[in-house]
Amino acid sequence: MGSDEEGRGTRDTRRTTYGRTLKPVYGPDDVAGSDYIRDLGLPGEYPYTRGVRPSGYRDREWTRRQVVGLGTAEETNERLRYLFEQGQTGFSVCGMGYAPYESSDPRSLGIVGRGGVWIDTLRDLETLFDGIDMAAITINQIGASLPVFAMILAEADRRGIAYARLHGTLQNVVAPGGEGEELRGNHCVDIIEFCARHMPHWNHTSISARNMRDQGLSSVQEVAFGLYQGVLTVRAALARGLEVDAFAPRITFFFSAENELLEEVAKYRAARRLWARLMRERFGARDPHSQILRFHVQTSALSLTLQQPLNNIIRGAIHALAAVMGGAQSLSVNSFDEALAIPTPAAATLSLRTQQIIAHETDVASVADPLGGSYCIEALTDDIEREARALLQKLEAMTPVKAWQHMEGAADEAGYRRQRAIDAGERVVIGVNRHRIQEEEEEELGLEAKQVFNYDPAWRDKQIARLEKAKRERDPRRVETAKRMLVEAYRARVNIVTPMIEAVKSYLSIGEITQLLSGAGGAEELRRRHGFYLGQLY
C-alpha cells in the first residue's frame, strides 16, 4: 500500500500513521522472495541489513547525546558538564553559528539564547568547551557552519590536539551550488576534502533527513530523500577527484524515530541495505566501511504535544526503543517539555535516563538485530526498501534543483495532510483529539509540566559584551591579514578551510566573515557555494 493514504483504517485493515497497511498476521509467504545471504546476512556483514557490528551493542554502546543549546556559551557549558556527569557520552550543541549576523545586530533581538547557543567569535567556542576534554568525547556539530567547524579546529590547535585525534560529526550535505564539474568553490565539498586528508575519525557529512521527517514525511520518503542527498554528496566528492574509499566511510545519516515502532525498525534496516547496495554496485566502493550506513537518531519533535506533556515521556521512550532495536550508532531523546520551551535540567536528565534504562535495564541491547527474522519486520523492510528505491530513482531522473524543490514541496504537503488528519480525528493523538481533559483536571492530576525553562533577555547583553571585548582585544594586523587570505582563497575557488581557521583565530566574528565573503562575490554566490541553507551555514 502506498504511503500517501491517511487514516488508521477500519477494524479489519489497520494502517500506520502514514498509510502503510498492516496485516493481522505475517507468515512465510510474506517473505517468500527473500534470500537470507543476499538480503540479510549476519550482523556486520554485507548488505548490513541486520546491523553494522557483529555483536551489536555488546562491545560498543550507542553514543548517548542530549542536544543542548541555551543562553550563551556559559549556560550551555554548564548544562553540558552536568549531563556528562550524569552519563552522557557525546557532545551535541544546537544553534552554533546559524545566523549570518552578530548578536549586536537588531535582527538578533529576542533570539540570542532562545533557539540555541549563539556563537559570534572563537571566544564563545573557547567558553563552550571550557572544562571539556575535546579529545575524549565525540563532538556533534549541529548545522553546517563552516566558521564554527573552523573554530573547533582552532580550539584544538590552542590545546595542542592533533586533528587526527578528534572524533566528531558535522551536519554537512552538498546541495545544488558551486560551479564546474568538480564544484570548485563549494564549501561543503571543501570540508569533505579537508577531512578526508586530515581528520580520519571525523564524520564530515551527516545528512539530515530527520528535519524533513519532522514536517510529516513518511518513512519511505525519509529514506529516499536522505539517500538521494547521500548520492549527491558522493558524486560531488568524486568529481573533486577524491577516491570513494577515501571519503565514503565518513558519510553518516541523521534520522528521526516516530511512534510506529515496527515500521521505524524496518526503516533503519531498509536504509542500511539500500545504501550498501548503492555504494557497492553503483560507486564501486570496496572498503566495507564505505558500504556501511551509520546513523544518529533524534526522536520525533513532531509527535510531542503541548497537551498532557508528560505523555511525551512515553512517546520518547518508544522512539528510543525503535532506534536501539534498529541499530542506531548515536541517540538523542527529546525532552517531554520541548513542546513548551527549552528543556529544564530535570527533563533533560529524564531523557538521558531513558537511554540508560534501555541500555542497562532491558535486554534489547544484548542481541544484535533483535527483531530480525520476524515475518512482519522482514516484510516491512522489503517493502520500504523497494518503495524508497523507486522514489530515489524518480528524484535522480530530475535535475538536482528540481529534486530539491520536489522534496521541499513533499515536506510541506505532508505537514498539511498530517495536521488535517489530526483535525479530522483520523489520526489519533492522545490528549489532543482523544482522551482529552480540562486544564484544571490536568493540574489536579499533576499531568502538566510545572517547571518551564524561562528566557532571560540579559543573555543578549552578556553576549554583546563578550563580542565587543573580543574585538577590542584582537590584533588588528592579524585581522587584516586573515581577511586578505580568506578573500583570496574565496575568489580563487580553492579549499577555504585552512584560511577560515586563520580567520577565526584572528577573532573575526561570523557576521564579519559573512559580510566579507558576500562583498567578495555577492550574497547569491555565497548562498550557492554553501547550498540552499545559508542560515545553517553561517
* Cβ atoms 269, 381 nearer than 8 A: yes
3-state secondary structure of 94: coil
Nearest to 153 by CA among 113, 187, 194, 115: 194
pLDDT of residue 13: 61
Q: How far apart are the first and last CA of the chain?
A: 42
pLDDT of 535? 37
Distance from C-alpha of 173 to C-alpha of 144, rounded to nearest angstrom = 8
User: Backbone dihedral region of 524: left (phi > 0), alpha (psi from -120 to 50 degrees) or beta?
Assistant: alpha
Nearest residue to 302 via CA among 290, 319, 288 = 319
**pLDDT, one tens digit for every residue, the chain (538 residues):** 344 333 444 455 677 766 788 999 999 999 999 999 999 999 999 999 999 999 999 999 999 998 888 889 999 999 999 999 999 999 988 877 677 889 999 988 888 877 689 999 999 999 999 999 999 999 998 877 899 999 999 999 999 999 999 999 998 878 765 556 567 788 889 999 999 999 999 999 999 999 899 999 999 999 999 999 999 999 999 999 999 999 999 999 999 999 999 999 999 999 999 999 999 999 999 999 999 999 999 999 999 999 999 999 999 999 999 999 999 999 999 999 998 888 989 999 999 999 999 999 999 999 999 999 999 999 999 999 999 999 999 999 999 889 989 999 999 999 999 999 999 998 899 999 999 988 777 777 666 777 777 778 889 999 999 999 999 999 999 999 999 999 999 999 999 999 999 999 999 999 999 999 988 887 777 777 765 443 343 3
Instruction: Determine which helix (DSSP H) or strand (DSSP E) holds 15, and give its type and residue range.
Output: strand 14-15
Q: How far apart are CA 380 and CA 387, in angstroms?
A: 11
> Using CB atoms within 10 A of its CB, is residue 126 exposed (0-12), middle (13-18) or buried (19+)?
middle
CA–CA distance, 182 with 236 (Å, rounded to integer): 6
The Cα 322–Cα 333 span in angstroms is: 12
Determine how β-strand 202-203 pairs with β-strand 205-208: unpaired
H or E stretch covering 282: none
Report CA-CA distances (Å) from 212 to 19, 224, 428.
18, 11, 21
Are the C-beta atoms of residues 163 and 198 closer than 8 Å to each other? yes
The grid coordinates of residue 277 equal: 547496495
Residue 33, all three cell numbers: 522472495
Across 71-216, the runs of DSSP E, i.e. the strands, are 90-93, 138-141, 167-170, 202-203, 205-208
**Phi/psi at 85 (5° precision):** -65, -30
Q: Residue 327 and residue 302: Cα distance in Å, rounded?
A: 22
Q: Are 290 and 252 in contact (CB under 8 A)?
A: no
The residue assigned the cell 546491523 is 51
Q: What span, in angstroms and rounded, lies between the C-alpha atoms of 380 and 442? A: 38
